[in-house]
Amino acid sequence: MSTAKSLPTWDVLSKHGVFPEANNEEISRLNFLTHLNVHLSANILPGVKTAYEKTVLPAYIKETGKEPTTRHEIRKAMLDNPYFQMWSGLRRNTMEMRQQAGRSQVLRQIENLVERVEAYNKDASTLQLNDAITIPPNVGMVDIHCQPGCYYEEYFENDVTVAASYDLGLFVTTAGLLGALSDGGGKAITHWLSKDHPDFKPKRILDIGCTVGHNAVPLAQAFPDAEVIAIDVARPSLRYAHARAKSLGVNNITFVQANAEDLSQYEDESFDFITTSMFWHETSHESMPKIFKTINRLLKKGGLTINLEQPQYTNMGLYEQFIRDWDTYFNNEPYWGPMHELDLKKVLNESGFNGESMFEVGVVSLIDEKIFGKREAGDSGEDYGRAPVWNAFGLWK
């Protein structure tokens, strides 16, 4: 007999200085959605696999005389399967409900949130917004992961709605695996560095596509003497990120509105550490080599770039590829699939790096005991696309 295990409540998240308040009903709603997501992946998703193996695959073989050879063939065959349809419909809808819940919670207190953000940001030289920066197509084409307004839309002056809603809602799709400050990825990088490269002490760090700074802050905390530059194109996210970092007592990050394709304001070889977190799958074929070239130009000899990203599809079973690819078509992540089938070494080579020196590593952060208490031995929270082990690739220049 298996006993049901309770999930952490959203309310364990750390309330930094610009975190939206939540009343009891809002907390109930976010907890309900978290439970619904876990239920869909733990209890319903296995049924999708069964439907594939027992019904869809045999029918496909019967009809075509061969096994599917691409994830796209599987997807097209699955689209008519009633169980896949129900799971997909529920999953899509849960994402939309999470967006509505976050936005309504943020909007009811937006005036107060903006005031709090302003109090931290007023006259700060460490927040550098630039009106001339436009939203590139890889960010503006669709609202990524069904987040209305994406990372950048502003509904009025000094708005931070989309950023605050993003911050409070990540928990719903990860059930706490990212930690109380949603910074597990960045912490995993610094944990790995302290273990495997204890002598690496970067003085100047660049974090590209920082959004609200979830994974830039732990870098700045791990290297308090370093100057960290965190860039993004999205103004509301940068405003919020800056205030959030200040409220956490982190003063060595400068948040800059800039396009990673053109960072000509920074000198060649002026950074010894360049990071991205869950960034590349939201870029494009056009921008990716440009940004790698920028990284190559900015990185010092002997410097390190490390990039947290979901694993590439190479060497992955077709069914798992198909499930991971769901977001590409059904969760407004159009570049997810194309990015994950790239030969990264080749992209690096074409961007001036020596692709052969690329390494891949699974980085792990310590479990956040604020959320989970002490972990039981043998526990694993594996879930497609949201595993607590972060896949990373990188290279030393």
Ligand X SMILES: C[S@@+](CC[C@H](N)C(=O)[O-])C[C@H]1O[C@@H](n2cnc3c(N)ncnc32)[C@H](O)[C@@H]1O
**Which residues contribute to the site for ligand X (CB under 6 A)?**
136, 138-139, 151, 209-211, 214-215, 231-234, 237, 259-261, 277-279, 282-283, 287
44: contact with other proteins by CB under 8 A: no
Q: Which is nearer to ligand X, 29 or 239 (CB)?
A: 239
Q: Which is nearer to ligand X, 179 or 209 (CB)?
A: 209
Q: Which is nearer to other proteins, 96 or 369 (CB)?
A: 96
Q: How far apart are the first and last CA of the chain?
A: 53
Task: Tell me which residue of 50, 53, 305, 308 sits closest to 187, measured CA to CA.
Answer: 308
Query: What does 325 interact with, of other proteins, ligand X, none (CB < 5 to 8 A by kind)?
Result: none
Strand, helix or coil at 305? strand
Query: How many C-beta neighbours within 10 Å does residue 233 have?
Result: 22
Q: Which is nearer to ligand X, 88 or 138 (CB)?
A: 138
Using the rule CB under 8 A, which residue among 17, 338, 352, 385 binds other proteins?
338
Residue pair 161/110 in contact by the 8 Å Cβ criterion = yes
Q: How far is the CB of 243 from ligand X (least distance, A)?
A: 16
Query: What does 139 interact with, of other proteins, ligand X, none (CB < 5 to 8 A by kind)?
Result: ligand X
267: contact with other proteins by CB under 8 A: no
d(CA 350, CA 293): 9
DSSP characters over 174-208: HTTTTTTTT-HHHHHHHHHHHHH-TT---SEEEEE
Q: How far is the CB of 23 from other proteins (least distance, A)?
A: 10
Query: What does 351 interact with, of ligand X, other proteins, none (CB < 5 to 8 A by kind)?
Result: none
Stretch that binds other proteins, among 20-28, 176-184, 207-215, 257-265 (CB under 8 A): 20-28
**Which residues touch 54 (CB under 8 Å, ≥6 apart)?**
none
Q: Is the dihedral of CA 118, 123, 124, 125 positive or negative?
A: positive
d(CA 91, CA 39): 10
Using the rule CB under 8 A, which residue among 99, 190, 296, 321 binds other proteins?
99
For residue 200, the one-letter residue type is F
The angle formed by the CA atoms of residues 243, 244 and 248, to the nearest 5 degrees, is 115
Q: Which is nearer to other proteins, 59 or 61 (CB)?
A: 59
Q: How far is the CB of 89 from other proteins (least distance, A)?
A: 4
d(CA 253, CA 273): 14
Query: What does 332 interact with, of other proteins, ligand X, none (CB < 5 to 8 A by kind)?
Result: other proteins
d(CA 105, CA 100): 8
Range 145-174, binding other proteins (CB under 8 A) = 146-150, 155-158, 161
Q: 184: number of CA atoms within 13 Å, CB side? A: 27
Q: Which is nearer to ligand X, 110 or 241 (CB)?
A: 241
Stretch that binds other proteins, among 41-49, 139-147, 191-199, 269-277 (CB under 8 A): 139-147
Cα–Cα distance list, 356 to 97, 366, 382, 393 (Å): 44, 30, 30, 12
Show the tokens assigned to 51: 């439907």
Query: What does 33 interact with, of ligand X, other proteins, none (CB < 5 to 8 A by kind)?
Result: other proteins
Q: How far is the CB of 126 from other proteins (least distance, A)?
A: 24
d(CA 101, CA 33): 9
Residue 274's DSSP bridge partners are 206, 305
Q: Which is nearer to other proteins, 106 or 219 (CB)?
A: 106
* Number of residues near other proteins (by CB under 8 A): 54
Tokens 């590409």 found at = 328
Query: What does 214 interact with, of other proteins, ligand X, none (CB < 5 to 8 A by kind)?
Result: ligand X
Please state at what angle helix 71-78 crosses helix 57-64, rounded to 10 degrees.
110
Q: How far is the CB of 57 from other proteins (least distance, A)?
A: 19
Chain residues binding other proteins by CB under 8 A are: 24-25, 28-29, 32-33, 36, 79, 84-86, 88-90, 92-94, 96-97, 99-100, 103-104, 107-108, 110-111, 114, 137-138, 141-143, 146-150, 155-158, 161, 284-286, 328-330, 332, 334-335, 337-338
